[in-house]
């Protein structure tokens, strides 16, 4: 086993399927953020547009929760959308939400200039927060930026039902819109990588049969996501693809060739056929996970070719009042995980209002697996 590593060394070695001194603990966006904000004596409203506030919150969260990475921006997933004209509802104690969409049709893509990303004050705040994290943490911690795939970004710029209609009735203009948004996503990624991010955590939850047919996901999602992923990797950054959808298109995730897949579920249909289980019934608010973690076996096809697996503690285990469930989820994941190429994390963001005590159980349970 290697000598004690820095968090960044540990995280990168896991991404590259190399040996680590212990399994890294991954952090998504701003999980359990309320306790951090309370310690800072501030609110979400106060730190949302503050590079200094984001930096302080991420550094303090790491001190409190012991994870091996930090991340900016957070799980609101609205930075790119705001830059492109979406109106945002800022909330005092929760993530902001979209107040109004800037686009009513795909043909309005002509009104979008990817360069607006570079002029956005919100984007500049995130860029500055990455620079501040790099200055404060140096090479001690893996610094991740958070992005959307172009199709996910489109869903933040246009009402969902309208978007589906445009995809079906005006595909040429919708493709033109996706071309423009891809350029914007790449510009955003370049800014954050240049500011000091080591890689990108990319929300790809739209690649799922819950929303699209496989053909539509390929036509409107895959090509544009692949261009973004490849650009980041060619620029020296790592890519973690996040897809916590119930019926994610895992074959498309594999074809994207990310460095890591952050997942909630395995292939639900395949697991049902192979093992006679219903993942959707055993990973929900009432039933937290399964001891066997069949999903890890099913995702072996990712790990073998060189994709790190990142997951898949059930975030519903938190704020449930069942503290033993958190410890069980940690142990089940650790027992089932591959020997190399694994980062322990939740399958989606830990609720903002999670008590610090529960985060402590996560950490202590993880440490107990190393004894």
C-beta atoms surrounding 57 within 10 Å: 24
If one compares 293 and 81, the residue with the highest pLDDT of the two is 81
CA torsion, ordered 367, 11, 5, 57, to nearest 10 deg: -80
Helix (H, G, I), strand (E, B) or coil at 312: strand
C-beta atoms surrounding 63 within 10 Å: 10
Instruction: Tell me the pLDDT of the chain averaged across its residues.
Output: 92
**Residue 276 reports pLDDT greater than 90:** no
- 364 with 44: CB under 8 angstroms? no
The DSSP element (H or E) to which 124 belongs, if any, is helix 121-137
* Cis amide prior to 81 (ω within 30 degrees): no
Residue-level pLDDT at 60: 97
Q: Give residue-wise pLDDT tens across range 206-235.
A: 999 999 999 999 999 999 999 999 999 999
CA torsion, ordered 150, 155, 156, 161, to nearest 10 deg: 160
C-beta atoms surrounding 284 within 10 Å: 12
Q: Dump strand ranges (E) for 168-306.
A: 199-203, 238-243, 260-263
Quote the tokens at residue 65: 């929760």
Q: Which domains does the chain have, with CATH numbers?
A: 7-368 (3.20.20.210)
- 8 with 140: CB under 8 angstroms? yes
DSSP string, 51-117: HHHHHHHHHHHHHHH--SEEEES-TT--HHHHHTT-EEE--SSS--EEEE-S-SSGGGGGG--TTHH
Residue 370 — very low, low, confident or very high, per pLDDT cuts 50/70/90?
Answer: confident
pTM: 0.95
**Residue 246 reports pLDDT greater than 90:** no
**For residue 31, which of 362, 366, 332, 307 has the smallest C-alpha distance?**
362
Q: Give residue-wise pLDDT tens across range 124-147.
A: 999 999 999 999 999 999 999 999
- 346 with 314: CB under 8 angstroms? yes
Alpha-carbon distance of 20 to 13, in angstroms, equals 6
- 200 with 145: CB under 8 angstroms? yes
């Amino acid at each position: 086993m290697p000598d004690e590593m820095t968090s960044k060394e540990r995280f990168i070695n896991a991404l590259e399927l190399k040996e680590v001194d212990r399994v890294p603990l991954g952090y998504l966006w701003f999980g359990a953020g309320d306790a951090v904000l309370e310690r800072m004596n501030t609110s979400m409203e106060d730190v949302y547009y503050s590079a200094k506030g984001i930096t302080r919150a991420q550094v303090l969260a790491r001190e409190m929760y012991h994870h091996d990475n930090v991340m900016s921006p957070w799980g609101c997933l609205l930075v790119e959308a705001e830059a492109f004209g979406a109106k945002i509802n800022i909330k005092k104690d929760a993530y902001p939400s979209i107040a109004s969409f800037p686009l009513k049709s795909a043909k309005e893509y002509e009104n979008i200039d990817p360069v607006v990303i570079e002029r956005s004050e919100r984007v500049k705040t995130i860029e500055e927060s990455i620079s501040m994290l790099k200055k404060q943490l140096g090479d001690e911690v893996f610094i991740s930026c958070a992005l959307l795939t172009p199709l996910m970004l489109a869903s933040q710029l246009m009402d969902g039902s309208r978007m589906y209609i445009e995809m079906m009735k005006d595909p040429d203009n919708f493709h033109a819109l996706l071309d423009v948004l891809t350029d914007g996503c790449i510009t955003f990624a370049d800014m954050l990588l240049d500011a000091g991010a080591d890689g990108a955590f990319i929300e790809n939850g739209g690649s799922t049969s819950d929303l699209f047919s496989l053909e539509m996901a390929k036509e409107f999602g895959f090509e544009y996501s692949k261009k973004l992923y490849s650009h980041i990797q060619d620029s020296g950054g790592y890519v973690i693809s996040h897809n916590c959808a119930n019926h994610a298109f895992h074959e498309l995730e594999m074809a994207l060739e990310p460095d890591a897949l952050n997942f909630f579920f395995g292939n639900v249909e395949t697991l049902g056929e192979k093992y006679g289980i219903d993942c959707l019934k055993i990973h929900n608010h009432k039933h937290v996970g399964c001891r066997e973690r069949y999903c890890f076996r099913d995702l072996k096809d990712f790990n073998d070719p060189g994709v790190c697996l990142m997951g898949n503690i059930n975030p519903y285990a938190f704020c449930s009042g069942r503290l033993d469930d958190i410890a069980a989820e940690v142990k089940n994941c650790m027992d089932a995980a591959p020997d190399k190429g694994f980062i322990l994390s939740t399958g989606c963001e830990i609720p903002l209002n999670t008590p610090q005590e529960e985060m402590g159980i996560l950490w202590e349970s993880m440490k107990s697996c190393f004894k």
